[in-house]
């Protein structure tokens, strides 16, 4: 006689169902964790090249290899979050990442860096997946769109504050200052993990209603969700514009002053944080969310066209056009975040939130890794047709989200 699949159910009392208290606790937890991320991110390149005795090429290679490990870890860790509970898995990942990051203080060679960056990046990308799976269960359904938007805004604020404080270490530029950054970043993971333990659902057993093998493979059989993740990965190439494309474009192909790059980046960071909640309205259902994604694609396309126009003209006109394109792409970024987040949850079964978020996040991670290459090899060498082609791809990808929704019968 075959044994029926084991099933876990939530405890009726103290099960930690989604509550406003839990949502409120996620705010400071997110702020603290992302503060550490911003703090370390702004210092990492100089730390590893100046203190860790590595070349810039070795540092970039390590990041690329680590990124590949992160992509491979996303789906398995998502499955683990479904199997053992997102809060438990996230707590373990954050504590393990804290230990790993502390190990960076001992890096003085490329090979030691490579041995650390691979598991740490896997832990970090896995933590993002577990965090997103946690939100699927921790946020109250009556205002989930607004709650997600507020958390995204807090994430941007946290990264911005961390980067600002991290600038002090850059100015000091000593080994002690960089070591202090690493220790503080490590502590943010520990504090966030301790706060996570206070969530009402932290120790509740998550519901599992299917066999493990079926759960792990279910997302890989969902062709529409795979297509949705691929489309979002294409739209996520936009993140390479602010990081790589805009600075190089301004310096090499326009008459705008270089300082405009900093202005555009500050504007992007501030507006993304300020507009998250307001521009997320309309993503309460998948039709509205897909409409926002389509809007994002077309705004990105128009922004690419404006970049082309900024190539000719005076310094003043180039400045206005570059800032105009940056503004359009910032609004598109907010629309894309609202759309992709809502659809990544709404198109996935609740019982497999971790596995589905793992697949979605792996696509985004691949796009983030490829975006600099796309900008430097596929767009910037072809000043007109490179931007226009990229814009057309964005428009097509955004429009495709509406098709996916219709295909699902909504």
Q: How confident is the model at residue 204 (pLDDT cuts 50, 70, 90)?
A: low
**Rounded CA separation 75/264 (Å):** 35
Q: State the distance between the two ends of the chain, measured CA to CA, in whole angstroms.
A: 41
- 282-286 contacts, C-beta under 8 A, 24 or more apart: 282/338, 283/145, 283/338, 283/339, 283/341, 283/342, 284/145, 284/342, 285/346, 285/410, 286/342, 286/343, 286/346, 286/347, 286/405, 286/408, 286/410
Other beta carbons within 10 Å of 361: 28
Dihedral sign for Cα 15, 212, 144, 27, please.
positive
Q: Show Cβ contacts of residue 133 under 8 Å, excluding neighbours closer than 6 positions.
A: 78, 81, 82, 86, 353, 354, 357
DSSP 89-140: HHHHHHHHHHHHHHHGGG--SHHHHHHHHHHHHHHHHHHHHHHHHHHHHHS-
280-327 pLDDT, tens digit each: 888 888 889 999 999 999 999 999 999 999 998 889 999 999 999 999
Return the ∠ at Cα 231 (arms to 325 and 406), rounded to 5°: 110
Instruction: With beta carbons less than 8 A apart as the criterion, state whether 206 and 86 touch.
Output: yes
Lowest mean pLDDT segment, chosen from 169-178, 278-287, 400-409 = 400-409
pLDDT at 264 over 90: no
pLDDT band at 15 (very low <50, low <70, confident <90, very high): very low
d(CA 269, CA 239): 12
Residue 3, pLDDT above cutoff 60: no
pLDDT at residue 5 is higher than 50: no
Average pLDDT, integer, range 55-64: 81
Split at pLDDT 50, 70, 90, the class of 180 is very high
List the one residue out of 359, 354, 357, 349 whose CA is nearest residue 82: 354
């Amino acid at each position: 006689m075959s044994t029926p699949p084991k099933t876990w159910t939530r405890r009726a009392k103290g099960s930690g169902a989604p509550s406003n208290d839990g949502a409120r606790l996620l705010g400071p937890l997110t702020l603290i964790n992302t503060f550490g991320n911003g703090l370390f991110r702004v210092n990492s390149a100089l730390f590893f090249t100046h203190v860790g005795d590595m070349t810039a090429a070795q540092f970039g290679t390590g990041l690329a290899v680590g990124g590949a490990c992160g992509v491979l870890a996303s789906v398995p860790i998502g499955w683990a979050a479904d199997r053992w509970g997102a809060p438990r898995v996230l707590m373990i990942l954050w504590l393990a990442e804290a230990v790993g990051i502390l190990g960076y203080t001992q890096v003085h060679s490329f090979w030691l860096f490579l041995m650390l960056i691979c598991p740490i990046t896997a832990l970090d990308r896995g933590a993002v997946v577990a965090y997103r799976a946690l939100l699927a269960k921790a946020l109250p359904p009556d205002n989930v769109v607004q709650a997600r938007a507020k958390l995204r805004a807090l994430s941007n604020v946290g990264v911005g504050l961390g980067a600002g404080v991290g600038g002090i270490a850059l100015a000091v530029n000593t080994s002690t200052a960089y070591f202090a950054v690493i220790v503080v970043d490590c502590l943010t993971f520990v504090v966030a993990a301790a706060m996570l333990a206070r969530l009402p659902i932290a120790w509740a057993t998550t519901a599992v209603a299917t066999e493990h093998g079926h759960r792990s493979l279910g997302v890989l059989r969902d062709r529409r969700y795979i297509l949705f993740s691929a489309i979002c990965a294409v739209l996520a190439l936009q993140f390479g514009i602010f990081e790589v494309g805009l600075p190089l474009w301004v310096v090499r192909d326009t008459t705008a002053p270089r300082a405009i790059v900093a202005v555009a980046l500050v504007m992007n960071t501030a507006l993304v944080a300020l507009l998250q909640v307001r521009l997320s309205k309309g993503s309460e259902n998948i039709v509205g969310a897909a409409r926002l994604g389509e809007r994002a694609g077309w705004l990105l396309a128009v922004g690419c066209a404006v970049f082309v126009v900024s190539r000719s003209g005076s310094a003043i006109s180039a400045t206005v056009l570059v800032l105009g394109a940056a503004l359009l792409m910032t609004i598109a970024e907010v629309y894309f975040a609202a759309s992709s987040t809502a659809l990544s949850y709404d198109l996935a079964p609740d019982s497999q939130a971790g596995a589905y978020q793992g697949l979605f996040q792996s696509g985004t991670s691949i796009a983030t890794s490829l975006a600099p290459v796309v900008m430097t090899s596929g767009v910037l060498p072809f000043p007109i047709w490179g931007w226009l082609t990229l814009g057309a791809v964005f428009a097509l990808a955004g429009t495709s989200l509406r098709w996916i929704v219709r295909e699902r019968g909504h």
